[in-house]
Structure 1
Amino acid sequence: MENRPTIMVTNDDGIDGAGLQALVQVLVSTNRYQVFVCAPESERSAFSHSITWQHPLQVKQVEIQGATAFAVSGTPADCASLGISKALFPVVPDLVISGINKGSNCGYHIVYSGTVAGAREAFFQGLPSISISYDWVGGKSTVNDFKLSAEACLPIINAILVEIKSKTYPQKCFLNVDLPTDVLNHKGYKLTKQGKSIIKMGWKKITSEAQVGKILSTMTMEADTSNIDMNATKVSQGSQNNLLYMREIVGVQVGEIDTDYSSLQEGYITVSPLSALTHVETDCEAYFKMWLPGVTERFSASAL
């Protein structure tokens, strides 16, 4: 059994997150993999690719049946970096999986996502990686959907490991996988690309803690708030000089058809190859190619 491939799991919902727990349970139950877990000790959603730099991380071993697991005081990127470094585990994993996130990660949300950052950090270090998210909708989704999502991803996970073993797996990208709300009746895998969908957020000035609950209760469009820590949103009224503002959802930008978000809403399991490099729109590149050579000349002329 020592020859089993090694998978390291991380996430941004925290090591107790239902998505991570279901994923690890499914991976362990196959008896095909050695499973490591290195995940944040608590919620770290929307931390993007932030890292801890100026103070040490606290690491505590925790019990997850069938896996070797550690809870870390840092961010998802911290956890991925530590978990693949051989400082924590005896071997470098063959594959890193970040998830399963409670909520989809499509379009511009990929930039905010700590889940995607966990996979991206492994990619930075040259390791194959996947980020996995489930399109949780309050009132429709149940915890069992995480288990179904993990099972639906097993063919992808196994196929990647086969390619890794044969040294034919591409090294210039990592995969972002999103599973539809009705995962039991999904339409199959669909190769997609990152679109421009985003939940548009505004700011609302508030005057008291009582307003926090009212605002959160309205945040239902394309978002689930059942995992929001109400204690973290309490407002201090210790000073009358403080101005208090809180984010609120003001709309949704869907983006183009045939991209990750639209395909997910159609019921597909979307598989989007991602890179760490930013590719600008062709028209922007053409514009600045013409614009840049004349910058100095225009500046000199305006100074006269």
Structure 2
Amino acid sequence: MENNTNSYDQKPTVMVTNDDGIDAPGLRSLVRVLVSSNRFRVLVCAPDSEKSAVSHSITWRHPVSVKQVDIDGATAYAVSGTPADCTSLGISGALFPLVPDLVISGINMGSNCGYHIVYSGTVAGAREAFFNDIPAVSVSYDWVGGISSVSDYTLAAEACLPIFSVILDEIRNKNYPLRGFLNIDLPTDVANHKGYKLTRQGKSIFKMGWRQVTSERQGGKMLSSMEMETDSAARTETDTSTEAGGHLLFKREVRGAQVDDADTDKQFLQEGYITVTPLGALSQAEADFQSYFKEWLPSVVQRFSSSAL
């Protein structure tokens, strides 16, 4: 099956997915902006319910159910699987007659920077496309409760439109590299952003703890994103814990945050930039960690034998 850019009189095809679910305002705003630009053929293949923080999990042993959904200007399907499932199915040729030229995952409710990229289903939606040699972008908006509004998603999508368009131009001209994918985060005050900043993934993370609760109600609301600035009153995550059989109930809670050195994605996002971070899929150790084991591994057997004496 061929991509659509082989014919210059055709619009390029963009497929949208996410982890917040097909009804999420971030996805709907993104699709509206893409459709209204009249530049793209738009497909949607997204989870039928929220799948935040599922990382790159996939459905393996069981089939997924698929239902067509009415979204103006797009061909859209809701899928019972994960974001990675949705991308895999959407680019496979089994669901749509055309393979998309570009996969866009988002717009997520809450930023995805630093170590949170590992948890993110939004990023996984783009990474799955990368695994299959299809250009991809994950997009997240730094939602803050009491400050952000649903209209900010539209501004975020419009701010990303030049990036999407130029990527597709490069794809058409066969100049776009397939050695990675892009992760874009948009600042809370997106209307007054400071411009685009090429960044690298940092090590920022929210330190999580656990506390015991006596009931599902006491557990409180879970946020829809790994980023805790999101509005906990905006949406909730269903807690499926029970007390049946005398099981204990524990709930995650935030116990602080770590933001690493400057010149990383989280730092520039907090300064008001739209951060554009190239990502890959290989987890390579830092040089000093790698070099430690260069001498350590050959001595393992000898050291083990000596300690047994």
TM-score class, shorter-chain normalisation, is over 0.9
1:172-195 Cα distance to aligned partner (Å, 9 max, x none): 110000000000000000000000
Aligned partner of 1:263 in structure 2 is: 268
Aligned partner of 1:272 in structure 2 is: 277
Asked if residue 226 in structure 1 is aligned to residue 233 in structure 2, the reply is: yes
1:95-139 Cα distance to aligned partner (Å, 9 max, x none): 000000000000000000000000000000000000000000000
Query: How big is the shift at 1:224?
Result: 3.0
Distance in 1 (alpha carbons) for counterparts of 2:117 and 2:243? 34
Distance in 1 (alpha carbons) for counterparts of 2:240 and 2:129? 35
Aligned partner of 1:105 in structure 2 is: 112
Asked if residue 32 in structure 1 is aligned to residue 39 in structure 2, the reply is: yes
Q: CA distance change for structure 1 residues 223 and 254 in 2, over 3 Å: closer, same or farther?
A: farther
Aligned partner of 1:22 in structure 2 is: 29
Q: So what's the TM-score if we normalise by structure 2?
A: 0.93
Query: How big is the shift at 1:202?
Result: 0.2
Unaligned runs of 5+ in 1: none
1:212–1:234 CA contact under 8 A, matched in 2: no
Aligned partner of 1:43 in structure 2 is: 50
Aligned partner of 1:88 in structure 2 is: 95
2:222–2:232 CA contact under 8 A, matched in 1: no
Aligned partner of 1:238 in structure 2 is: 244
Q: So what's the TM-score if we normalise by structure 1?
A: 0.95
Aligned partner of 1:299 in structure 2 is: 304
1:96–1:129 CA contact under 8 A, matched in 2: yes
Distance in 2 (alpha carbons) for counterparts of 1:92 and 1:221? 35
Q: 2:12 aligns with which of 5, 18, 43?
A: 5
Asked if residue 283 in structure 1 is aligned to residue 288 in structure 2, the reply is: yes
Q: CA distance change for structure 1 residues 220 and 210 in 2, over 3 Å: closer, same or farther?
A: farther
Q: 1:163 aligns with which of 160, 170, 191?
A: 170
1:21-45 Cα distance to aligned partner (Å, 9 max, x none): 0000000001110000000000000
Aligned-partner residue type, residue 277 of structure 2: S
Query: How big is the shift at 1:272?
Result: 0.1
1:199–1:222 CA contact under 8 A, matched in 2: no
Q: CA distance change for structure 1 residues 2 and 71 in 2, over 3 Å: closer, same or farther?
A: farther
2:18–2:106 CA contact under 8 A, matched in 1: yes
Aligned partner of 2:78 in structure 1 is: 71
Distance in 1 (alpha carbons) for counterparts of 2:233 and 2:61? 33
Query: How big is the shift at 1:209?
Result: 3.2
State the percentage of identical aligned residues: 66
